[in-house]
Structure 1
């Protein structure tokens, strides 16, 4: 069916002149042009006009075929009513009376979508999973001259494609991306006139070779550096903290790092609200230089004020002040704010916590604006359950667990219930502990427990009440100086070898002690140190009552050192010496004597196995000891191998010496986790004696020392 639009008619039914095609219809007299229909015949072929000229065109269905007239008509409604029909013309029917067949089909409702088959058509002999691939190789020229080839390779689309593409268009698109990448890298290095172009050509074997040719051009340098900022105290503070110099190349990384340094250092020197604006670099193509301008809004010079807190509170603003290491009126330093945030996290009481400086508008006497710290708290679960298991030859299996409510007595007052179950030790205890008690990092604790221990050296039923004030390291907050002091009240019933009766008997001892500890730690990690050293000193003046009062002193000194031979090997060493003075060994409760042997002492021997023995062959402890150990810790990935050699001995005298040292050698395995290494050590005594362990096994968390 052919649709055509006839020309409009003028008054009287004659066709009006077509303003567009009138010139084309002009002919010379008696010379018709091409296939133009004679005017009289053209007029007789037109249908009459009727209807509204503004109505849309509508198609009329085909009538019975007639060789004297067209089979399909398109009528154009006349303007201002119906026009009379032309003589001899076929009159058309009203268009809307009979719609086209296509319109009838369109009026029908759509078939349900469920009737369509969405499964892909399978074509026999075609494997969709084995798509056709074009292999290509990439060559880059020019970037090696400015030492940026590795950076390009890490970001290149062609390189990421691994030398394969589905079609040539994909290779071309990747090459265009790499052109732009090369130009960006050049500009980042100060080569603002640099260009890059890619070429793709067929190589031998049907493969494709893609070449990126980069032309660096000239490197631009700073002609001037200007900072647009308010006056600061001290003067020109921003200029001092912007490490850019005239004559240096304009390298993007250095510029960004310099601006970041301004954002970092000014809040450390009293400007917490500094804002670094958008830089402007005006390039001079003739001189190959750039004029750099940086706008900086320093904000007010500020000092510390008070604290506010909101959210789900673990404790109030007053206790926040206990954790802070700065005073009101002190010049603002964002490092001290970060330190406060770390201290809040270290309490373990928050699921999230943040510290934000807020302006008050108040001006201090020194001219600084007072800034308060807003602490946004979201207290987390305060209760935890914990468990620990270990095994040692001579000590057997040991399983301990604890339930802790870390904030039962606010602020930071914890109640801890502990239990120990093992083959040779059982017990139950309760501890009250307040962290950050009155000052940062100070802990006050009070403990009461009851234990039963059954070792080869002694069996004891012991009740203890102890109090301590300490300044300790934790896995989150390792400290260089640590200390503790406190008291112990012990009542214990123990069996002991009675040399006068030449048999074992039981005795009850009452012990009062004032233990003191001091430590100095330069190591880099609490559970897995790789460098530095540690010194520890314990002193405890005590008195023991078993019929008579026997005052004495217990002392222990220990040093450890760590030296990294390489990135994967660390040499570690330990030395320890202890002495008890002022009392005979037989007047000491067996549990207060010194023993050696075991996983934390001299490996290769059972727990408390070294030293003097009774006639039954059981250890009886002594008044002094010395121990030495050396390890070579080799780590590969999350695993490690540790060969070691230990030595030590326990002496009946109050002064240790180097006589009769016993040695144990072995090898250990380490599995490194995010909370410390899991340790498995196997050792054997050298020059083993009768009754000593052949092989000793130790399993625990953390290094041996």
Structure 2
């Protein structure tokens, strides 16, 4: 409804607008005019109530079908998958651009499969109830790469270039490489890159006229025969450019002169007489900037120009340097920390107030703070002091170093579960505080249990003992575990010092005091050892190296360790012996999804002083989910007369395992295990009395150390979880000994790999 206009007629002989009342009325009407449409609409609605329109009749969207006509080499499924998104878009909205794109993508799929002349078109057949799209495919002959000829090349041989082109065109396919134009262009770019890396800046590569001919000249129908594409490639190599000199546009400032001289010497050794290409400038710039940054010039700028020399092919790299001021740290401010002490952070910093700023020391400071695990973000900023005279540029500048940190969560409550073929259900819970009292020390309280035992442990760890790289651990523990032949209860404490060494090495030394009680010893097993309760104080040294790429499911790298432990009365022990253990694990990828794993473990216990036998709780046992899997837990090796294991003074274990990744989460393996325990037979099995001298134990152990190996062959499945793989193994014993109660096969279900 439109607004209304009103006319006020004159009365008498006087103009109506001249009257004051009329003027006021006219003014009110003009003011109210914009509101009239709304008022009128409201009145209309009151007089004539709105009538609801009849509901719209729902009509089903026409059905869309796709029919593929003419495809033989490529399946309909493959073509649908290549253009799935555009087909869905057309079926939903009927956009012609979508079906255009779908036809193009299908044609591209053909071209990438080697059908160089393939064409894909379409026809629409529409009715009110349905739409049918006929995809018309003309495949044409398949084209493979034929002869590739090169003209003008002198740096690289025809064979080298032809091999490069064929490998790229083949793209992991077997047989003659298909001719794909995009891959041919990729190959030419690779050849161009090779020439550029050799200093040929003006390299020009062109493709001549490609000649297609049938592979089989006798074929009656060339359209059905495979064609080969003979490709001529013309190369104009141009001049080769070499770096003949490196120079600075001006002398560096005195504090940086020595470092810049060393950087230039390093750059000259790397670059002089070498082919020139653009990345060479980045190498020189990196060396110079590093020298400036490590001598107190964090704002230095370096611009590298390539200048042609007097002779063709000569390049001089000229560095235009702007050093900026020499920066001296006046003060260091730390912010963002609430739980961590400022003193702890300052002790991790390699930068000191009053000294020249050094970028390498900043990086070292960042790495040490990050390795503490206490911070999720660390940032360093150089800020001007509050009172700075910036009226003139100075050679030196004092700055304030701001270290901003964001603390990570340092306290954690955890609950974890697991399963083992012997212990069955495992549960573990605990509390960890990684920033005790704000000094980065770690408090750990945890307890765990299974169907075969339980333990409680408390420990404090200082990752930087006395501000050194040495880590100190102080654990206190209580453990009880039911073994196949006895039950062992232990309580004790220890002190362990460890340090990370270069090349992934770790060295450690530890002292431990514990009390062990052996109970529920089965009959006949006590003939091997009379000690049922004893105290041990031992000193242990260990050196290890670990380069595995994953601790749960490694596919590359190795882990090696060697340890020696001594228990002696001088240390406060009731037993006297030496224990040697060593191990090696190697993982080698055979393909992206196939890995070969090898493990070798060995151990030996030698009684010392007047010690004769070693208690059951200190012996080696073998067999189970993590050693020789054709045996149950601890069942490999010497036994009593009723078939219960009694362990030994030495052991060897060899495992070979081939692991194949089936999916991202599922893996399969086959394995061969081989192991022994020495002495191979118990005194009861041999019908002999218990040992009376330590030398008899040593002789029996060494004589049997490399004999009576027991085998295991099997296969397994692993489902990869964040805490390690859930593993199901079945292992067979191909050399079962009935008189020693050995089983034909064993099934293990557990969490974690065997090694």
TM class by shorter chain equals: 0.5 to 0.7
Residue aligning to 2:240: 219
Residue aligning to 1:534: 561
Deviations 1:601-655 (A, max 9, x none): 5554333335654554433456xx1112334455666866543322222576553
Flag structure 1 segments of 5+ consecutive residues without an equivalent. 1-116, 166-170, 362-366
* Contact kept? 1:596, 1:649, Cα under 8 Å: no
**Superposition deviation, residue 577 in structure 1:** 0.6
* Contact kept? 1:485, 1:514, Cα under 8 Å: no
- What is the CA–CA distance in structure 2 between the aligned matches of 1:239 and 1:190, rounded to whole Å? 21
- 1:422 to 2:450 alignment: yes
Segment drifting more, 272-281 vs 667-676: 667-676
**Superposition deviation, residue 428 in structure 1:** 3.9
* Contact kept? 1:182, 1:214, Cα under 8 Å: no
**Superposition deviation, residue 465 in structure 1:** 4.2
- What is the CA–CA distance in structure 1 between the aligned matches of 2:527 and 2:282, rounded to whole Å? 82
**Superposition deviation, residue 239 in structure 1:** 1.1
Deviations 1:310-360 (A, max 9, x none): 334552343235556899999987666545544433333333335678899
- What is the CA–CA distance in structure 2 between the aligned matches of 1:124 and 1:500, rounded to whole Å? 88
Aligned ranges for residues 227-306 of structure 1 at < 5 Å? 227-228=248-249, 230=252, 232-233=257-258, 236-243=261-268, 244-263=270-289, 270=295, 273=298, 275=300, 277-283=302-308, 287-297=312-322
Q: CA 1:553/1:338 → structure 2, altered by over 3 Å: closer, same or farther?
A: farther
More helix by share: 2
Residue aligning to 1:644: 673
Residue aligning to 2:581: 558
Residue aligning to 2:103: none
Residue aligning to 2:6: none
- What is the CA–CA distance in structure 1 between the aligned matches of 2:238 and 2:355, rounded to whole Å? 52
**Superposition deviation, residue 556 in structure 1:** 1.4
Residue aligning to 2:52: none
Flag structure 2 segments of 5+ consecutive residues without an equivalent. 1-60, 62-92, 97-122, 127-131, 172-177, 214-221, 387-394, 683-690
Aligned ranges for residues 419-568 of structure 1 at < 5 Å? 419-460=447-488, 462=489, 464-471=491-498, 479-490=504-515, 492=517, 494-496=519-521, 509=533, 512-525=535-548, 527=551, 528=554, 530=557, 533-541=560-568, 551-561=574-584
* Contact kept? 2:454, 2:479, Cα under 8 Å: yes
Q: CA 1:556/1:177 → structure 2, altered by over 3 Å: closer, same or farther?
A: closer
* Contact kept? 1:322, 1:438, Cα under 8 Å: no
- What is the CA–CA distance in structure 1 between the aligned matches of 2:353 and 2:582, rounded to whole Å? 41
- What is the CA–CA distance in structure 2 between the aligned matches of 1:179 and 1:604, rounded to whole Å? 57
Residue aligning to 1:190: 199
Residue aligning to 2:740: 690
Where 1:242 maps in the other structure, the secondary structure is helix
* Contact kept? 2:207, 2:232, Cα under 8 Å: yes
* Contact kept? 1:324, 1:440, Cα under 8 Å: no
Segment drifting more, 380-389 vs 611-620: 611-620
Segment drifting more, 142-151 vs 645-654: 142-151
Q: CA 1:570/1:457 → structure 2, altered by over 3 Å: closer, same or farther?
A: closer
- What is the CA–CA distance in structure 2 between the aligned matches of 1:690 and 1:181, rounded to whole Å? 66
- What is the CA–CA distance in structure 2 between the aligned matches of 1:431 and 1:443, rounded to whole Å? 13
Q: CA 1:670/1:441 → structure 2, altered by over 3 Å: closer, same or farther?
A: farther
- 1:626 to 2:642 alignment: no
Residue aligning to 1:39: none
Q: CA 1:337/1:704 → structure 2, altered by over 3 Å: closer, same or farther?
A: farther
* Contact kept? 1:142, 1:214, Cα under 8 Å: yes
Where 1:618 maps in the other structure, the secondary structure is coil
Say what the alpha-carbon RMSD is for the aligned residues: 5.7
* Contact kept? 1:453, 1:459, Cα under 8 Å: yes
Q: CA 1:644/1:199 → structure 2, altered by over 3 Å: closer, same or farther?
A: same
Segment drifting more, 464-473 vs 490-499: 490-499
Deviations 1:216-269 (A, max 9, x none): 2121223432134515225722211214554432233444344435445775x6
TM-score normalised over the length of structure 2: 0.58
- What is the CA–CA distance in structure 2 between the aligned matches of 1:692 and 1:698, rounded to whole Å? 16
Q: CA 1:127/1:262 → structure 2, altered by over 3 Å: closer, same or farther?
A: farther
- 1:657 to 2:666 alignment: no
TM-score normalised over the length of structure 1: 0.62
* Larger gyration radius, structure 1 or structure 2: 1
- 1:124 to 2:112 alignment: no
**Superposition deviation, residue 397 in structure 1:** 4.9
Q: CA 1:320/1:610 → structure 2, altered by over 3 Å: closer, same or farther?
A: same
Deviations 1:379-404 (A, max 9, x none): 22222536353424x55454444443
- What is the CA–CA distance in structure 2 between the aligned matches of 1:182 and 1:682, rounded to whole Å? 53
- What is the CA–CA distance in structure 2 between the aligned matches of 1:202 and 1:150, rounded to whole Å? 17
Residue aligning to 2:435: 407
